[in-house]
A and B are shown apart, each in its own frame.
Chain A
Amino acid sequence: MSDKPEKFIDENGIRLDGRRVDEIRPMTVEMGVLTRADGSCYLEWGNNKVLAAVYGPRELHPRRLQRPGEALVRYRYNMAAFSVEDRIRPGPSRRSTEISKVSGEAFEPVVMKQFYPSAVIDVFAEVLQADAGTRTAAINAATLALVDAGIPMKGLVAACAVGKVDGQLVLDLNKPEDNYGDADLPIAMTEDGDITLLQMDGNLTVEEVNKGIEMVREGCEQIFAIQKAALLERFGTAEEEEVLEDAELQAELMSEEEEVSEAAEEEDAVEESEDLEAAETEDPEDVEVEEAEAMFEEDVTEFEVNEEEAEEEAAEVNEEDIASEPEGEESTEEEGEKYEQ
């Protein structure tokens, strides 16, 4: 306790690490750092180093934990044994269990859990190096990891702390301010400014809390800007062409599906399985024939013949014959089955 500084803020309003009272520490983020995870993010915030990984949505075991209408979001906050000067005992502690619970709930309003009933989304936030404000750093990293994993979300979440030292409110506490300050108030919020996490350690008046929340709002704005920049840069410039091309293909595939989804089912009868995708662009005439055929359960190509051109027709009849054979077998089998049942 001897290393408590005499003054946290000098006469010029500059803090121990050279920041002003309403300034956050520099933050850098990197996404997609873990290849085996579905989404990941490495974040450095001042001297904090946090690694977040998201797995899922995936099947939840044991089954009794499953929720029939929505997915479960499991959040695990953990500090590495070497993250602080005195080695901390590995494994869940009272503190980390509590932080895990409240941090997981901080994502409650943004994650679209109803899309994945009875599944689980696992979020792991690992603190590699701690320097005050690790829970907020972990939340900032976890948000990006969730986005990276392609989880549907209504928006981002940012977190930042405000505290009181030397009787003055300061944004984003550093280690000495956290250890020897009078209060610590970590807050997480959505882009709309809805507060999703609020904890407090120490004593603050109502006015101070209100002012602190406003300061955090400012801080979170900056964090959102950093997060958004990271997201937009990830597929920027060089790869932009790729992603746009991907989207085009995806859209093409989707529209094809819509248009021909009914038809494709029938069409596949004459196609080899490998040609499925190609098959979707087939002549609609074939489809009509086959649909009709399916309706009457017999070969109706004869009726179509007049309308067709001679060459096409011959080829088609052949195809129909081939296709109808196994169908016939199937239907008789089906009948047999019904009998036995």
Chain B
Amino acid sequence: MDRKIVIPGQLLSDKEKMAGPGTYVKDGKVYSLLYGIANVKNKVSVVPFSGKYYPSRKDFIIGTVIDVTPSNWIMETGSPYDGLLHVSEYPKRVDSSEMRKCMSIGDCVIVRIKDVSKSMKVELTMREPGSRVLTKGRIIDVVPAKVPRVIGHSGSMVSILKKESNCDVFVGKNGRIWINGKSDDMDHLAAAIEMIERESHISGLTDKIGRFLRNEPEEVAESDADELIEEERSTLPAKEDNVTEETCRKVDALLDDEVDEA
């Protein structure tokens, strides 16, 4: 698979049939529509660097209720279009007058996009396992383009985040991440997510985040005595690793010198 950075209007292919998402065809040639990375497989597609969330069917997102009408909850979705959640899409039967008791303005909800019409009417549903009103925890915003980063290869990053921080994590496709756990843990996790967004170019990021979540010095200082010992214990092997790495490097250097001399 071939990849490169492309800009809008850049020629991608001479074959019209190669046109995939993020491209357009003019005079039988394929050009890029977006600023991003072009992937060439049997088709050319461009994945953008930035941009708003574009609602698509079956996505799980985190929405915020912004209005309650007699039969709908209107939700802000992080895209240019508000989502509509009809009463019948709520898991339980709710009377029109009772709607505000279930979800009121400002409530955050994990919802799934049921359908998106051509005129961008976004229909939501809560009749899905996992869909629920969020009453605890925090919501962190990341750029929607970074969502795959936070998830990682087949969910590796998310599982590290969950395991190491003892927090519940849910990543919405619209770039909203819900976390829930102890206050300190959440602070720590929020910092880790910020780090993913900021330092996503570092290779082996998943390991780095894992290490960050395990033994940050501040965390040791704040946590209570029992945890402190545990934290220290987990810190020690990491230090040893560093030492061995360094010694290895020195040994390598020495060996190189010897080879040079020889």
Q: Which residues of A contact B (CB under 8 A)?
A: 38-39, 56-59, 68, 110, 112, 116-120, 147-156, 191, 228, 231-232, 235-236, 238-254, 257, 261, 264-265, 268-269, 271-278, 280-281, 323, 326, 330, 333, 336-337
Contacts and interface: CB of A to CB of B under 8 A. Distances in A.
B233 interface: no
B37 A246 contact: yes
A246 B22 CA distance: 16
A152 B8 contact: yes
Given A274-B170, A281-B154, A154 B31 contact: yes
Nearest to B167: A274
Given A150-B51, A268-B129, A68 B201 contact: no
Contact of A153 (B5, B33, B52): B33
Contacts of A246: 37, 47, 145-146, 148-149, 200
Contacts of A337: 88, 93
Contacts of B201: 238-239, 241-243, 245
A155 B159 contact: no
Given A247-B36, A274-B168, A155 B47 contact: no
A278 B154 contact: yes
A335 to B, nearest CB: 11
Interface string B1-38: 10101011100000000000010101000010111110
Contacts of B159: 278
Given A118-B120, A156-B7, A246-B146, A333 B152 contact: no
B7 A228 contact: yes
Given A117-B119, A231-B7, A246-B47, 4 more contacts: A150-B52, A247-B39, A251-B45, A273-B130
Nearest to B52: A57
B110 interface: yes
A148 B50 contact: yes
Interface in B130-149: 130-132, 145-146, 148-149
Nearest to A249: B148
A273 B170 CA distance: 7
A249 B152 contact: yes
A240 B203 contact: no
A277 B80 contact: no
Interface string B30-68: 010111110100000101111110000010100000000
A148 B26 CA distance: 23
A265 B8 contact: no
A247 B3 contact: yes
Counting contact residues on chain B (CB < 8 A from A), the size range is 35 or more
B151 interface: yes
Contact of A243 (B5, B24, B82, B154): B5
Contacts of B60: 273, 276
A35 to B, nearest CB: 11
A155 B159 CA distance: 40
Interface of B: 1, 3, 5, 7-9, 22, 24, 26, 31, 33-37, 39, 45, 47-52, 58, 60, 80-82, 88, 91-93, 110, 118-120, 127-132, 145-146, 148-149, 151-155, 158-159, 162, 168-171, 200-203
B178 to A, nearest CB: 9
A93 B48 CA distance: 37
A150 B58 contact: no
B158 A277 contact: yes
A294 to B, nearest CB: 13
Contacts of A280: 154
A148 B145 CA distance: 13
Contacts of B151: 249, 253, 277
A155 B130 contact: no
Contact of A276 (B7, B50, B130): B130
Contact of A68 (B24, B119, B127): B119
Contact of B9 (A58, A154, A253): A154
A268 B127 CA distance: 12
A326 B131 CA distance: 13
A56 B47 CA distance: 18
B119 A150 contact: no
Contacts of B49: 150, 235, 243
A250 B51 CA distance: 14
A243 to B, nearest CB: 6
A252 B7 contact: no
A250 B48 CA distance: 10
A95 to B, nearest CB: 30
Given A240-B5, A246-B37, A274-B170, A149 B51 contact: yes
B36 to A, nearest CB: 7
A38 B8 contact: no
